[in-house]
Each structure stands twice: as C-alpha cells, then as structure tokens.
Amino acid sequence: MGSSSGIGLSARSDIVSISLALTVGFVGWVVLRFSRVALDGEARQSWFMGWMSLTLACVLALVVAGNLFQLMVAWVAVGTGLHRLLLFYPERPGAQRAARKKSLSGLIASGALLIAVSLLAHGFGTTDIARIAEAARAGNGSSSLWIVAGLLAVAAVFKSALIPTHGWLTEVMEAPTPVSALMHAGVVNAGGFLLIRFADVMLSAPGVLAVLALVGGLSALIAAAVATTQSAVKTSLAWSTCAQMSFMVLQCGLALFPLALLHIVAHSLYKAHAFLSSGSAVAAVAQQHRPGPVAVPGAGAVLRAFALSLAIYGGALALSGLWHEPPQAIALGAILVFGVAYLIAQGLAEAAPWPLFWRTTLMSLGATLGYFALHWGANALSA
C-alpha cells in the first residue's frame, strides 16, 4: 500500500522483510497456540490473547515497514504492547520492577531512533527507506550521517539489551512463559533488525561499526560466562539471549549483515522452543536420580581440545577455499573455535568414555561445517 508524502502504510519486499515476517508469523502462531492451553482458566486470558495478537501485528508491521514513519510508529507500538504483557500479573513487585526498567530502556531507544529518522528524512528529503538506502550506498548522504549511525547503534543496543542495558531482560520471569518466548524470540531482535535494515547507513560510519563490534564482543563474553552460573532455567536462557544478541551486534559491527540476519532467524526458532519447553525440561532433569559421573576436563584435555579445534577449523577453511574472504569473516569463524573446543574438551576428559569423545568430535565438525554453510547462505542471500 502506498503512502502520501511519506506518511502512511507501505510494505518493503526484500529478503530481510520476507524472512523475518515468515519467522515472526510462525513463532507467533506457535506462541498463541501454546498460550491458549497454558493460560486456560486464567481470569484475564482473553485480555492476554488480545494484547499478544496486537503485539505480534506490530512486530510484523515493523519488519515490513517501507517508510520511516511506519517504522517509528511500529517500534513504539511494539514496546507498548510488550509493556502491557509484562504486567499480566500487575500485583507482583518483580513484574512492576521489570516493566519499569523495560520502559526506561525503551524510552531511550525510541528517543534515539526518533532523532535518527528525523535526521534521515531531513538529510535525504524522503522517508522511503529503499530510496534512503540507495542514496547512502551511492555515497550521497550528508556529513551528519555518522551521527545517524551512532543514534541507530544506541537504539539497537538498548532494544537488544546488551550489557549494561540488560537489567530488564533478566528480570522478566514474573510474566507468563509465552511472553518470555515472544520477547526472546522476536521483540529483542528488533535492535539487530534495525542495524540490518539500515546497513548502508551504518557502512558509511566505520567508527560506529568498530564501537559496535567492541561493545558486542565484550557483552557476549560477559553474558555467556554469567549464563553458565545460573541454576534457574529461564534465567539461564535470558542470559543466553543477552549473549546471542551481543554476538549478533558483533556480527553487524564486523559488517556481516547477511550472517546477522540468519543468526536472528535461527535464534528466534531455537529460543522460542527453549522457553516453551522449559517446563518439560525441568521435569526430565528431576527424574534423573543418578546422572552418573561427571567428566570434568583437566588442563591437558583443554589444551588438546583447542589444538584439535584449530585443526578442524583450519582444515575446513582450507577445503572450502574461503581464505579470500574478508578478515572479519575469518575472525568471526575463529570465535567458533572456542565453542568447538568446549565440546571436544568434554570428550577428552579423563572420566569420559570413548563414545563420548567421538560424538563430541563429530558434533564439533558439524558445527564448523554449519558455520560455513551459514556463510555460504549469507553470501547467496546478499548476492
């Protein structure tokens, strides 16, 4: 649908909007079906279903927005809908505290985005996102484009709850499980979507991208480390989301926007399943009365694991012929070595049986090949 003077409804049809609209639609359908059963008997179930549907509609309007006005309105509407869902149990102090923190974070993100879209509309003389991206790609932007990129980066960091803006994300456990699933699988990805949508603007400010890479990398390390110390399932998943969003921002900071898009889709599907199945996972662990001996790798096992991981990654890199890729792509793949080494170290522990070693080695090889498959897919999408 067209718009008048850049104000109205318009849909942009490209790989970003189509892939994210399909992801949001599928995850939303699953969450709504789950909510119908999980909240059966709740006095405010119909209220919940209404706000959940409205929030999903706003997310869809955001990812397909073709002009700055619709993008801004949908951005604010998503935050408003999520705020109402977080207060499903308004009498709980924890829910009130998390909603207040989310409101403050959302206000800062919305303010930064409002200034950014205003500067874009004034500088390019249009609110059409496609025309703005084309002009920025051609280098026709104004000298203040780095300010716009910085404001977009601020909005993304606060929206995606990177450290130290993560407080609300790890304290929303008072809300029903479907809210957590929607938030972690969809709403929190809005920051990454914003960076990907305005990738051409971000590329015009290499300094901003460098700061994003540093902030994202540091936040990912801290959040991933904290996630391993959490005993509560949902809290651990929340810190995992913080780490994943940080890693996605790191990818954007390295200008690997197609890979960040694939990361969003994969993380949305995984995290929605993780939250919706968290109850059955706890029940399954509770039934394991005798989990058996724990294989704790020693220093030697860790060193051998790193050596084997480097060999796997180097071999896959050589066989795939990706040495000609940009340095940031190779560096990002090297980060995968740390995760692969952790897997292999479990199999190399002294108490670990040999079948566990072979399984973890095959899983590590699969993870490495999966990275290259994602990289090839990202290149195909951007071609």
Q: Which domain, by its residues, includes 231?
A: 3-282
154, 241 Cβ separation under 8 angstroms: no
Pair 158, 46: CB distance under 8 Å: no
CA distance 213 to 250: 4
Higher pLDDT, 79 or 228: 79
Domains of the chain: total: 2
The pLDDT of 49-75, averaged and rounded, is 89
Give the integer Cα–Cα distance in Å for 297 and 347.
8
- Does residue 130 share a domain with residue 37? yes
* 288's tokens: 């394991």
Asked whether 173 and 231 are in contact (CB, 8 A), the reply is no
Paired with 170 in beta bridges are none
- Are 278 and 365 part of one and the same domain? no
Based on the fold, state whether residues 270 and 297 are members of the same structural domain. no
| Pair 92, 139 in one domain | yes
Q: How many other CB atoms sit within 10 Å of the CB of residue 235?
A: 16
Give residue-wise pLDDT tens across range 238-269.
888 888 888 889 888 888 888 888 888 888 88
Residue finishing a domain among 238, 258, 282: 282
299 and 278 inside one domain: no
Residue 199 domain-assigned?
A: yes
Question: Same domain, yes or no, for 305 and 348?
Answer: yes
pLDDT of residue 111: 92
Radius of gyration over every alpha carbon of the chain, rounded to an integer in angstroms: 22
- Which of 24-33, 208-217, 361-370 shows the lowest per-residue confidence on average (mean pLDDT)? 361-370
Boundary-marking domain end, from 282, 311, 331: 282
Instruction: Give yes or no: residues 297 and 273 share one domain.
Output: no
Q: Who's near 86: CB < 8 A, 6+ residues apart?
A: 95, 98, 99, 102, 172, 174, 175, 179
User: Domain end: 247, 282, 317, which one?
Assistant: 282
- Whole-angstrom Cα distance, residue 247 to residue 244? 5
Residues 18-37: what's their mean pLDDT?
Answer: 87
Look at phi and psi of residue 346 and say left if phi exceeds 0, alpha if psi is from -120 to 50, else beta.
alpha
Say if 24 falls within a structural domain.
Answer: yes
Q: How high is the mean pLDDT of the chain?
A: 77
Q: How far apart are the first and last CA of the chain?
A: 27
Percent of the chain surpassing pLDDT 70:
71
If we measure between CA atoms, which residue out of 259, 81, 55, 78 comes closest to residue 155? 78
Q: Note the pLDDT of residue 317.
A: 65
How many C-beta atoms lie closer than 10 Å to residue 284's C-beta? 10
In a domain, residue 287? The reply is no
Residues 50 and 158 in one domain: yes
pLDDT on residue 332:
61
Q: What pLDDT is recorded for position 1?
A: 44
Residue 364 lies in a domain: yes
